[in-house]
Amino acid sequence: MESSSNLPLAPSPRLVLSSGFTLLEMTMVMFIMAIFISVAAFSFQGVTDEQILRTPAAELQRMAHEAVSRAGIYEQPEEIVFEKTGFGIRYRGDASAADGGDAKYWLRRVQTPPEMRLLMKRWGQNKWLPAADQRWVALPSGLCEPLSIRMEFGRSFTEMQFHPLTGGVADETTYVAP
């Protein structure tokens, strides 16, 4: 007698294979992708704000180091002048900084975005004051005034505290608003 396991089976009507995705599956995938894209776009805004803050901050750090070095080499004071639109390092002892001075006296200038605020806190001060029309002098002895600078862009900021012996950054804090 033959066993029933050798008999061919008829295809089941319930085993129909379908190719493709349902409308519900496609909608869910698109919804999840939209969430990922919105989160990524939102986080890139923070990266942009941080880059806007870091560029002038890095330039100020280079200028401070250069001013201290040049003051020691040339044995004359060097200064960094803060303006409403940015800051710059001037050649040795040029006294006409308040009126903008002649372009030949500027070693290097940095323009900040119009929305950026530059604030300064000198040694012994408790509150931040606008840095425009202020000077930071590096003496021939290699010393400079201990100084803190705050750069604000929107709700984001970076603060740098400069060391009086080296002109380098002793402490730095950055906050990028979400």
User: For 103-145, how does the pLDDT look when each residue is reduced to its tens digit (9 = 90+)?
Assistant: 556 778 899 999 999 999 998 999 999 999 999 999 988 888 8
pLDDT confidence band for 97 (50 / 70 / 90): very low
Q: How far apart are CA 64 and CA 107, in angstroms?
A: 13
12 is a domain residue:
no
19 is a domain residue:
no
41 is a domain residue:
yes
pTM of the model: 0.68
30 is a domain residue:
yes
The pLDDT tens digits of the residues spanning 19-77 come to 778 888 889 989 899 888 887 776 666 567 788 889 999 999 999 999 998 888 888 88
Looking at the predicted structure, is the pLDDT value of residue 102 above 70?
A: no
76 is a domain residue:
yes
CATH number at residue 130: 3.55.40.10
What's the total number of domains in the chain? 1
List own/partner pairs for 93-102 with CB under 8 A and 24 or more apart: 97/135, 98/133
Amino acid at 76: Q
Q: Which domain holds residue 130?
A: 25-175
120 is a domain residue:
yes
pLDDT of 35: 87
Nearest to 156 by CA among 56, 46, 58: 46
Nearest to 166 by CA among 59, 91, 69: 69
Q: What's the average model confidence in pLDDT over 9-19? A: 60
69 is a domain residue:
yes
Q: What is the mean pLDDT of the chain?
A: 82
43 is a domain residue:
yes
Q: How far apart are CA 82 and CA 63, in angstroms?
A: 12
Looking at the predicted structure, is the pLDDT value of residue 99 above 70?
A: no
